[in-house]
Structure 1
């Protein structure tokens, strides 16, 4: 349910609000707000005790957890632990990126992709070159390139005497962030970033291709392996074979670094299911240009020259244009599914729009300025990328909670809140990375929060309405744990907040938290492949 925009005083209590400092905190509240003393002694105190117990779980042994819970109705800080300790946020970084993008670009921002010519066609012939120019649209599917080619053909063009040149200069040429793990490069969550890129599926994963492998009819037969969307810049060597019906699935598709040479190896059992995964492409700009070249040919437009790179001249004749949906709509696949590529595209777009430089440096500088404009507390922080894939990112729970606290006052808040995953919601474009979590609890359909995952890093931060009707913002950042991500602990925290009521007495308190906390990993254990971030 929407959060009322009613933020009041935001002062932090002078004493620690952990159980050890509870007596002092109660006295301070009693002196400043006598009517609230009973609340602190009952509902709030009970909640603090339960959160302490959860954060002392064996699953978090040796870990550092930064946690903040704040009332949005009163502005009061209800709970904190290591609130000002700088931690790696993983994909909680996307909370900052999306909020800043809405502030800088506006919820109605769209991305435009154009096909232009050196000069107006004559008798259906473009005498010079044809240009495909991108501005970072993360939603360009192969169908969009078909539509662009059809529009060029509909304009009367049948032939291009020159080359088809891809112009991706809206962004710089740095494809991969220097702080990303090089071993992640083949995997969809670490795709190369370009102002011209192809979304391979309905999830709008950019800079990748779908890999599909189907077993043959009998043992020893080749496996039918396909790359989609395929183009002339990609090649596939198929060494995969069909194994006996009861054999294991060992098929894999790799890409040689720095090339678009893919190799399929391993086997699939005869009569077994189809294998499907995603793999990144090298130089997404070239892939986009080759897809357009194929689409032009399919639509009866012959390009006599080569497919290459180039910069469209000022005043080039426009032949076709594709405009994306508005940013407020694109936020859903970005935030619900935690799309790393979209985050980096937004950072570089902010840089281009504010400083004329589509770079990480310019975009992150503008991102910090935007966050400060809307009142976010950027204390001990390091902004390295937009997605959270870089482990050099550093945020405190106070900063993450500050984004959640200030956002309701912004005109774009409804779109932003709507983009957050919803606990237990079965539809992926509603529940996102929380679809399988907290079902059958008071948090289902109530918690709206962003997840985050790296090896040894897990996060859950967002909004929940307590049982007493009070709107809360919470930030949970867990770093340095061993083994599986402590999602069971995070879920139990969110459930406990959904049960929170200031009027709760000890006799009416929920069952002991240890009896209710779900085991870690019981739902949606992996939000993304390998060590990627969601």
Structure 2
């Protein structure tokens, strides 16, 4: 059986098209891959200003802080109080916020409720699928839940099939300044499935395009009728989208090649989960009426449930795969607010009260371009969080020491535990440098050109011209700075 983490990796990779950057979904156009260049050791202890100049980041600002992890003393700094977009580095702070407000033992639950007694397999009343805001629910888990209900003898209901998705606010997207068609700009709901994406596949059959949309897992393959994709004979735009009971997409034929696939966002995830549940139920012999949304959870008996992993594991995967939906769901659950704007403010206020640092967060994932943090503030949060054993450092991803091309140096004795972040012309990295012996360091590095990012039309923000090479240079600079600091201070 495939693991949840393997499924997560597959979902986020978009199946046919590997992601080109942390929060940048892939293009339907396959990208040729060249051979690997021989790795060179990363830059030695050069002056940081020389490294920054060599990165050629244009008008972008570069800010960083390096601290002694034990004392918090500043060892190096450049523009430490300059506020820049954190991108997905914000998820590290969201993790701390959620761990305090929800606790390490917290699990999200998706429940099936019967409003009446069960007689000969039939619920004498309504069946309710009640979401609890789980951002990690997958088709295979939903299919297994249905299979357990069928094994217990459930056959249907005399009443309605209801779904409740109001445990979290219903948002059709995280950030309005991102393209509609990118899967990383997910909708948010109290019911979520497959990170609120449907699997779109296309191929030519007898000279005609054939498209399918499904909610595939590893063991279940339910079709999806509420999302439809038609191929349009054009070059641009790549996608168009029209909301409605059936979410209508068109895709440019010029982008499709001979065939392929990608994950597309679903903008009404509650209805999506309910449709998939009903399809899976029908395959198991459970007959349900067409789903209706419930404004509240009706009273009744729970007849089935599926739970997420404990919160630290949910957050560990979020930090590793940088899932924006997970960040927003855990942040909204922790704050109890009805909008991302209000929830981001609650988290910002919590950071100010807990760590004495000014953060200006407008969401929990860092996907939107309005949030701002400083390198000094981020580094201070990391030092205090580890000193107080708040549980962040153990779930951070080991990103490794890098060579001069940005590749991880295998077997290097120094560990780098950090969270990265990427938006168009924005790149960040913050975490811990841990040598086998000697002094542990904490760092935060932010590079950004917000004006250049904002100048790109929203429809072209999936991969604007020049962003790949800019991001590569920014990440290479991060590796060079870390290598330099490890050699000088660790």
1:408 maps to 2:386? yes
Matches within 5 A, 1:448-459: 448-459=417-428
| Cα deviation, residue 286, structure 1 | 0.3
**2:340 matched to which residue of 1?**
360
Is the 2:399–2:417 Cα contact (8 Å) retained in structure 1? yes
Matches within 5 A, 1:374-385: 375-379=354-358, 381-385=359-363
208, 217, 224: which is aligned to 2:197?
A: 208
How many angstroms apart in 2 are the aligned matches of 1:228 and 1:403? Answer: 39
- With over 3 angstroms needed to count, the CA separation of the structure-2 counterparts of 1:499 and 1:171, relative to structure 1, is same
5+ long unaligned stretches in structure 2? 1-43, 217-221, 453-465
5+ long unaligned stretches in structure 1? 1-45, 200-205, 242-248, 426-430, 503-534
**1:387 matched to which residue of 2?**
365
Superposition RMSD in Å: 3.1
How many angstroms apart in 2 are the aligned matches of 1:474 and 1:128? Answer: 58
How many angstroms apart in 2 are the aligned matches of 1:295 and 1:282? Answer: 21
1:191 maps to 2:186? yes
432, 438, 452: which is aligned to 1:469?
A: 438
Deviations 1:5-51 (A, max 9, x none): xxxxxxxxxxxxxxxxxxxxxxxxxxxxxxxxxxxxxxxxx96x622
| Cα deviation, residue 190, structure 1 | 0.5
Deviations 1:431-457 (A, max 9, x none): 9xx9x9442389686212211111221
How many angstroms apart in 2 are the aligned matches of 1:336 and 1:250? Answer: 34
- With over 3 angstroms needed to count, the CA separation of the structure-2 counterparts of 1:292 and 1:478, relative to structure 1, is same
**2:300 matched to which residue of 1?**
316
| Cα deviation, residue 409, structure 1 | 2.6
| Cα deviation, residue 492, structure 1 | 0.7
| Cα deviation, residue 85, structure 1 | 1.5
| Cα deviation, residue 367, structure 1 | 2.2
Is the 1:115–1:148 Cα contact (8 Å) retained in structure 2? no
**1:35 matched to which residue of 2?**
none
- With over 3 angstroms needed to count, the CA separation of the structure-2 counterparts of 1:129 and 1:232, relative to structure 1, is farther
Give 3-state SS (helix, strand or coil) of 2:47's partner.
helix
How many angstroms apart in 2 are the aligned matches of 1:368 and 1:480? Answer: 23
| Cα deviation, residue 347, structure 1 | 1.3
| Cα deviation, residue 193, structure 1 | 0.6
Superposition TM-score, scaled by structure 2 size? 0.77
**2:41 matched to which residue of 1?**
none
| Cα deviation, residue 399, structure 1 | 1.3
Number of aligned positions between the proteins: 419
Deviations 1:362-387 (A, max 9, x none): 533442354345x42322x3110001
- With over 3 angstroms needed to count, the CA separation of the structure-2 counterparts of 1:477 and 1:351, relative to structure 1, is same
| Cα deviation, residue 233, structure 1 | 4.0
How many angstroms apart in 2 are the aligned matches of 1:490 and 1:102? Answer: 28
41, 60, 63: which is aligned to 1:63?
A: 60
Give 3-state SS (helix, strand or coil) of 2:133's partner.
coil
Give 3-state SS (helix, strand or coil) of 2:94's partner.
helix
1:286 maps to 2:266? no
Larger radius of gyration: 1
How many angstroms apart in 2 are the aligned matches of 1:195 and 1:145? Answer: 15
Is the 1:423–1:437 Cα contact (8 Å) retained in structure 2? no
Superposition TM-score, scaled by structure 1 size? 0.71
| Cα deviation, residue 75, structure 1 | 2.3
Is the 1:159–1:302 Cα contact (8 Å) retained in structure 2? yes
Runs of 4 or more, structure 1, over 6 Å off, are 249-253, 441-445
Is the 2:319–2:419 Cα contact (8 Å) retained in structure 1? yes
Matches within 5 A, 1:490-501: 490-501=478-489
Is the 2:345–2:362 Cα contact (8 Å) retained in structure 1? no
Deviations 1:71-121 (A, max 9, x none): 113321101111111111111111211111111111221001101021122
